[in-house]
Structure 1
């Protein structure tokens, strides 16, 4: 937001995404820089940061350019909410990726003459995961109340609101043992693997940097972070009339048709319904479903009834990360 006629510099936030050796799937958003410092302390600063996350000044219908490390460039354009998406077959991408499959790139504003200042040198970094061909399996995980204490089952979601507005990302408490568990799954049975880990949440893209910072500060494996736009915040149905989270998970499975997956969520919202539906749509692709228990009797009873009807895929309700580790070890996954 500009104050007293002063224009905030433009910036591009490139979201972590994923692709294949011959296909790019890139997402991000062009915004005015609101100078959010995630390390700042104090309730007023935290409240100001929260306001800036949601009071965004998006840069609409603006041309951008993606720059690959080998010199190739691709033209992009933001939509009416400042988002951009590139879903394009390009080829010969694997040689550009590092040891664990991360391909670095940059995005810039493609403007010949622009009166509005641009942050830095108009080069904004991003990264895209191309999972190694020898990955034994992938992990798709929820965030809220699965790896981060959120309070999605609290009355009127008051705990979610309080945590989001008044807690710094590094002060948010990860569920005990979650980071170590995800690293074990990431490294696989050999201990030297690079199984991809995807983080999928109902949270809006406005919280992307907050969640990215939380995952980094708490030592979780680096992985694509897939959120949703504020336009769908009040309704969870997207393309194809399916929930946002299910849509994202199905996209991942369709992108890697030869890779089996582990699904990790919680029993507080609709993870059980979504994961079981995904398993039915893709028989033989889901190795196990792990659901963290929540303190909500009615929700837990409903989830137990759903699980009781599932005969094809191992589904485990867990209280601790060690239970997941023990079960995964029994399946030969770690």
Structure 2
């Protein structure tokens, strides 16, 4: 007989989070919002963020300086005290809505009729204490037909995922300044968006939301265009111990096709994990929504570090719709060069 109760690990995580929240509140920790860049069109918008607890001294100049120093070490990104089902109010343009976070403290709120103009706008998230936090939202024209979805790991940033020891070293111990960008990718994205200044750029990753602050600083430092982010939460789900990165990407692509009904996407990834399979499946199911698939080819050393073999996990032409162009190259410069040979793809 099936049960509608969440998976045991999810219930345990919720119990531990509640106990930790109660204890930290006794020590005077208060709520604050970590905002994530959202997106929308002229009719609707998606506001993203997370409500966490922080000590009162963290708002002082000394506290902010200490936090800035600590978060430059990768492990600091994963030390987060989330709230459970906290209330909030969002003001965005002509709309004011209220809601509550999920059990991980996350805000993922959709609203309609905001009336905000095209471009990067700011939504205000207000907590019960009266504290306000600004969340960036990219509003795209309703009739926009061009957009870019980009993977992050080993597509724009060299991480050598998912090998556990290497991933742990890169994520938890190396400083931000030691991380390297894939050559030419920032210039490629700027080129793709040059003719479409209001087009959506969405960074889609199986990485944890905890790292989004680092990633935004990394992207800015290396000259990548601003874009929204769709990431995942670490830990158990209502049905199992771990979240599926593949399902996260599949579901996100489908949701983006709904949220941007006119856009035909350029999908950018690498052949070290499952991007060719995921993008291929999406292009097969929705050939009219994909302009092209760009795959960064990892070199043999990167392939071995990524998954233990010298060959890509999936053949990059698997399941691709016959009318969907696919470009493969080792870096952004080579991808940009090949892209110029495909008329209409970047128009």
Same fold per TM (> 0.5)?
yes
1:69–1:38 Cα change, 3 Å: farther
Structure 2: distance between partners of 1:205 and 1:186: 25
Matches within 5 A, 1:40-79: 45=70, 50-70=74-94, 72-79=95-102
Q: Is the 8 A contact 1:151 1:157 kept in 2?
A: no
Structure 1: distance between partners of 2:292 and 2:310: 21
Q: Which of 153, 163, 167 is equivalent to 1:160?
A: 167
Q: Which of 328, 335, 338 is equivalent to 1:327?
A: 338
Structure 2: distance between partners of 1:282 and 1:37: 48
Q: Is the 8 A contact 1:287 1:314 kept in 2?
A: yes
Give the RMSD, CA atoms, in angstroms. Answer: 2.8
1:92–1:131 Cα change, 3 Å: same
Q: Which of 21, 29, 32 is equivalent to 2:42?
A: 21
TM-score, with length taken from structure 2: 0.79
> Unaligned stretches of 5+ in structure 1?
112-120
Q: Which of 127, 142, 146 is equivalent to 2:136?
A: 127
Find the counterpart in structure 2 of residue 104 from structure 1: 122
User: Deviation string for 1:106-137 (max 9, x for gaps)?
Assistant: 101125xxxxxxxxx71111021221346441
Q: Is the 8 A contact 2:84 2:105 kept in 1?
A: yes
> How many angstroms does 1:158 deviate by?
2.1
Q: Is the aligned partner of 1:250 residue 2:254? A: yes
> How many angstroms does 1:50 deviate by?
4.1
Aligned length: 306
Matches within 5 A, 1:296-315: 296=303, 298=309, 300-303=311-314, 305-307=315-317, 310=320, 311-315=322-326
1:80–1:187 Cα change, 3 Å: same
1:135–1:326 Cα change, 3 Å: farther
Q: Is the 8 A contact 1:212 1:225 kept in 2?
A: no
TM-score, with length taken from structure 1: 0.81
Structure 1: distance between partners of 2:329 and 2:66: 32
Structure 2: distance between partners of 1:165 and 1:286: 36
Q: Is the aligned partner of 1:265 residue 2:269? A: yes
1:28–1:282 Cα change, 3 Å: same
> How many angstroms does 1:31 deviate by?
0.3
Structure 2: distance between partners of 1:168 and 1:37: 16
User: Deviation string for 1:271-317 (max 9, x for gaps)?
Assistant: 111000110110222111111112327463543x3416643312222
Find the counterpart in structure 1 of residue 295 from structure 2: 291
1:38–1:171 Cα change, 3 Å: farther
